[in-house]
């Protein structure tokens, strides 16, 4: 790309809700650009709040997680524009990375599986099991750990649609031999340029420690799940936590591939 800055667009799907995701994504992009010696131009688009969609001029696109249902918004203006944008990105082969809520909307729109509520909300640092070898997982173990915070899931893959798109399921959620429920799809390669995950690879260890130790967060988790759940989350956030490998590898791997492809 020569001496011109790498243009990166981030589609903010938080709809104004307080979050650490945007801050972590900015940090990852800035750390990556400094480490690789790349000049960047970074712009944020308030997609859900103001129907803002980036144009085709960017080299790389990232679309964030966010609150709420990925099903109820299908007829809202921002969602209609967003799914049209997804189709366009696919047709012109632009690199796009979809996080959690964005991933769920893409799966719903392309009918790649059943998007539904979980039996209970998932939150915490949990194992993800990769199914294929791919540049996205470079530097990660076959089973790696990631932050999950979701009430919805993608199950029952539509093999016909997945095959028709030349897409590929990349990862599933943790194994639960004692639970007679289907494991959710945790990552899909929609094309050679478009990836999506149903977890939060942008979650950074120190940010998570601060977040889960906030009085309101702690109180809400204890009220919903009990003290044991909060303690398990905190125990997964010590200085040896493998979640930091996900933070330092997964999105940077996508960025590396995006500028080389």
Q: How far is CA 79 from the centre of its chain?
A: 17
- Prediction pTM value: 0.95
Please tell me the predicted confidence (pLDDT) of residue 240: 86
Residue 64's nearest CA partner among 134, 11, 120, 139 is 11
Please tell me the predicted confidence (pLDDT) of residue 239: 83
What does the angle CA 199 – CA 106 – CA 135 come to, to the nearest 5 degrees?
55
Task: Tell me the three state secondary structure of residue 33.
Answer: helix
Q: What is the dihedral of CA 13, 17, 22, 23, to 10 degrees?
A: 180
Q: Which residues of the chain have pLDDT under 50?
A: 1
Please tell me the predicted confidence (pLDDT) of residue 1: 44
Please tell me the predicted confidence (pLDDT) of residue 199: 97
Domains delineated in the chain? 6-204+243-260 (3.40.50.880)
Can you list the alpha helix ranges (DSSP code H) found in the chain? 21-36, 47-50, 77-91, 101-110, 159-164, 205-213, 215-225, 227-235, 243-260
pLDDT tens sequence across 181-199: 789 999 999 999 999 999 9
């Amino acid at each position: 790309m020569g001496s011109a800055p790498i243009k990166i667009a981030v589609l903010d799907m938080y709809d104004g809700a307080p979050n650490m995701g945007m801050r972590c994504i900015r940090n990852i992009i800035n750390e990556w650009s400094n480490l690789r010696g790349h000049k960047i131009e970074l712009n944020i688009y308030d997609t859900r709040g103001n129907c803002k969609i980036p144009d085709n001029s960017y080299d790389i696109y990232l679309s964030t997680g966010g609150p709420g249902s990925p099903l109820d918004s299908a007829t809202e203006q921002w969602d209609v524009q967003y799914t049209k944008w997804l189709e366009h990105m696919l047709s012109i082969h632009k690199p796009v990375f979809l996080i959690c809520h964005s991933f769920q909307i893409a799966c719903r729109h392309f009918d790649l599986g059943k998007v539904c509520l979980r039996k209970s909300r998932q939150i915490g640092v949990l194992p993800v099991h990769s199914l294929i070898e791919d540049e996205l997982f470079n530097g990660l173990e076959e089973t790696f750990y990631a932050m999950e915070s979701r009430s919805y899931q993608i199950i029952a893959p539509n093999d016909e649609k997945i095959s028709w798109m030349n897409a590929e399921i990349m990862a599933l959620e943790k194994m639960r031999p004692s639970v007679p429920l289907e494991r959710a799809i945790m990552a899909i390669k929609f094309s050679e340029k478009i990836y999506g995950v149903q977890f939060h690879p942008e979650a950074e260890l120190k940010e998570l420690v601060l977040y889960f130790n906030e009085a309101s967060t702690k109180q809400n988790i204890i009220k919903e799940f009990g003290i044991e759940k909060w303690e398990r989350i905190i125990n997964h956030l010590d200085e040896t936590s493998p979640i930091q490998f996900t933070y330092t590898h997964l999105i940077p791997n996508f960025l590396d591939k995006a500028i080389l492809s």
